[in-house]
Homo-oligomer: A and B are copies of this chain.
Amino acid sequence: MNLVLIDDDLLVTTALKTILGTDPELHVSATGSSGKEAVCLYERLRPDILLMDIRMKETDGLTAAQTILAEHPEAKILLLTTFSDDEYIVRALKIGARGYLLKQDYDRLIPAIKAVYNGQTVFGTEVTEKLPRLLRSTPEPDLCEYHISEKELEIIKGVAEGLSNREIAESLYLSEGTVRNYLSSILAKLELRDRTQLAIFYLTHG
């Protein structure tokens, strides 16, 4: 069972590597320290499981997970974090992560990894308690499910106000062409066809 570990803190990755090394079934193929690396390593090594921290400088773990899952929906990604932040949990679920564990649950980490390997989804104790309530309160698909940067969001808002590309460009001090480029990639990400569909999407699901 091949693993890739991603954590900001070198101490954590090495510690984890040691802990996991005690189990003969587990093999840590590589470690990394940023979301970007996670994407690269996943592409290159196709590990059975990707164990990743959420809070990291540079690209955060959730976004990286999203990138990977967009390409490989079958990827088994286990998110690891110190805090049990509600928003993170929900988002992790929505994008299709296979697990969300608190670092304090480290004694259950190995069983959890094996469970995920067998196709299950695993959540830490605290998370499990919160889950039903969280799901009840957020039934709608959200904008934050996609990788939308701050600037992209500004552009979306402009579109949803009925502005033209030129007007959006002026209001954000960009060139019209740049706005077009941003818009183009936004549409691709959201799988929409034109600005009108985008405006509708934003007004109804945003």
For residue A193, which residues in chain B have a CB less than 8 angstroms away from its CB? Answer: 162, 164
> Is A199's CB within 8 Å of the partner chain B?
yes
CB distance from A147 to the nearest CB of B (A): 22
Chain A, interface size category, equals 10 to 19
> Is A43's CB within 8 Å of the partner chain B?
no
For residue A194, which residues in chain B have a CB less than 8 angstroms away from its CB? Answer: 162, 164
For residue A159, which residues in chain B have a CB less than 8 angstroms away from its CB? Answer: 196
CA distance A22 to B105 in the complex (A): 97
> Is A121's CB within 8 Å of the partner chain B?
no
CA distance A162 to B203 in the complex (A): 12
CA distance A195 to B204 in the complex (A): 17
For residue A195, which residues in chain B have a CB less than 8 angstroms away from its CB? Answer: 196
Q: Out of B164, B197, B204, name the residue touching A203 (CB < 8 Å).
A: B204
CA distance A193 to B166 in the complex (A): 14
CA distance A197 to B204 in the complex (A): 15
> Is A86's CB within 8 Å of the partner chain B?
no
> Is A160's CB within 8 Å of the partner chain B?
yes
CB distance from A159 to the nearest CB of B (A): 7
Query: What are the 5 closest A-B residue pairs judged by CB atoms, nearest first?
Result: A162-B197, A196-B196, A203-B203, A196-B199, A162-B200
